[in-house]
Structure 1
Amino acid sequence: MPKITHILFDCDNTLVLSEELAFEACADIANEILEKNGIEQRYTGEQLIGDFVGQNFRGMMVSIQAKFNITLTPEELEAYVKEEENRVIAKLEAKAQPCVGVTEVLVRLFAEGKYGMAVVSSSALRRVKASIKKVDQDKFFPEDHIFSAATSLDKPTTKPDPAIYLHSLKVIGKEASECVAIEDSKSGALSAVRAGIPVIAYVGSYPTTEKQDEMAKTLLDLGAKVVMKNWSEWDDCIAQIEKMDSSL
């Protein structure tokens, strides 16, 4: 088996604490759509996270249309997608913070140069770039190694579709077995697993120990290889992956 040469990072709540900020903006727009269609239910950002974490806004809108039996025209959908992107980016540029401990790991990985590094996200490219720039992580990732399921593909999609991981592998010229993905959500982990990439399940951004334990079990059941509760565990987690790899 080839050795691990590249680390593929999810962005939201893996590199940057962005999910809560983003879902605030998503909830505002989702509620506008529900109200416009005469539907009484309203979402908080927290409720949207519970239902749709790991999906991008376009994927959420598809799910909401199916759930409430409403139809947006392609033009309406595109307008809402653009509006959501603008509102989320404004929130991120004002408030985004890095996930605890990740920047220290990135600094060391970048200095060592042992692994190539890329970002593979469901979120729109403008949003991903705004997130990592706000927290001063953009310097660690080459411009052509930042990938978005919403933007980088000919046909926009969202995780758990593996398309964005397959696309990123093609662009960086690597096999799935030469990479490791770090993912915090069900849809993200499934996307990487379906692309054949070993997954480290990062659960440190979940708010309680109970939720972290619950997500750890869920992501392992979906095919993740190792659980990381804090970025301080990085060396041990990547060593476990490489040990598994060498034993195959």
Structure 2
Amino acid sequence: MTNYKAVIFDMDGVLIDTEKLWKQAEYEVFTSLGVNVSEEGTIKTKTMTTSEVTKFWYDISPWKDKEHIVVEQMVISRVIELIESENCLIDGVKSFIKNLKLKNHKLGLATNSPYKIIPYVLKKLSIEDLFDVVVSAEFEINGKPDPAIYFKAAKKLHTRPQDCLVIEDSYSGMLAAKNAGMTVVAFTNGNSKKEFEIADFHIDSFRENLYNISK
């Protein structure tokens, strides 16, 4: 860890367990518009940005009377409601982040999720003051696995990409960080998946000490 000046976190699935919340919001909103939301489709949309998800379902089953941006905001608003009302915390992550802060690491957050959601997640965890930089792929041409969001995070942290350690839980996120020239720690959450093999290091739980991790 002494080799890394900054630690950058993914958000969904790392800071907070929102996969099921996104899936629920996606189903509720798009079925209300007459779309047959299939399980196969939700697997494909899992790593997309909200804008990409909206276009995906529109291309399959176009709706009338609502612009894409309106539908996208419907999904975002529903996810925010669920974050505020549901138990979606990941065990140990708050203390994990605080310990890194105490050791004077710069901390960044880089997510494919819309920027609007970030404050609600940080509030849910009571960590509003711990991150030096938060960035959303909403403002990039392409989201993860494109590395643009990680390049932006490093630039805002005034840190070279090779001096950044990234904590991710998805293949697309890990690929984005690797393509940015960063070191990747896979947060497996106890799962065993082939996609984690791309990572440089692995942690199963945020109860682990990042200073003691191994490949």
For this structure pair, what is the TM-score category when the shorter chain's length is used for normalisation? 0.7 to 0.9
Q: May I ask how many residue pairs the two structures share in their alignment?
A: 213
Q: State whether residues 122 and 158 of structure 1, in contact with CA within 8 Å, keep that contact through their aligned partners in structure 2.
A: yes
Q: Distance in 2 between matches of 1:196 and 1:63?
A: 30
Q: State whether residues 6 and 180 of structure 1, in contact with CA within 8 Å, keep that contact through their aligned partners in structure 2.
A: yes
Q: Distance in 2 between matches of 1:174 and 1:225?
A: 19
Query: Counterpart in 2 of 1:60?
Result: 53
Query: Counterpart in 2 of 1:228?
Result: 203
Q: State whether residues 16 and 121 of structure 2, in contact with CA within 8 Å, keep that contact through their aligned partners in structure 1.
A: yes
Give 1:117's match in structure 2, choosing from 91, 94, 107: 107
Q: Distance in 2 between matches of 1:27 and 1:234?
A: 38
Q: What TM-score comes out, normalization by structure 1 length?
A: 0.76
- How much has 1:224 moved relative to structure 2? 1.3
1:126 corresponds to 2:126: no
Distance verdict in 2 for CA 1:30–1:186, change over 3 Å: farther
- How much has 1:233 moved relative to structure 2? 2.4
Query: Counterpart in 2 of 1:246?
Result: none
Query: Counterpart in 2 of 1:92?
Result: 83
Q: Distance in 1 between matches of 2:67 and 2:209?
A: 43
Query: Counterpart in 2 of 1:82?
Result: 73
Give 2:149's match in structure 1, choosing from 160, 164, 184: 164
Consecutive unaligned residues of structure 2, counting only runs of 5 or more, are: none
Distance verdict in 2 for CA 1:162–1:72, change over 3 Å: farther
1:213 corresponds to 2:192: yes
RMSD (Å) for aligned C-alpha atoms: 2.5
Q: Distance in 1 between matches of 2:50 and 2:210?
A: 33
Give 1:149's match in structure 2, choosing from 137, 161, 182: 137
Consecutive unaligned residues of structure 1, counting only runs of 5 or more, are: 242-248
Q: What TM-score comes out, normalization by structure 2 length?
A: 0.87
More helix by share: 1
- How much has 1:165 moved relative to structure 2? 1.0
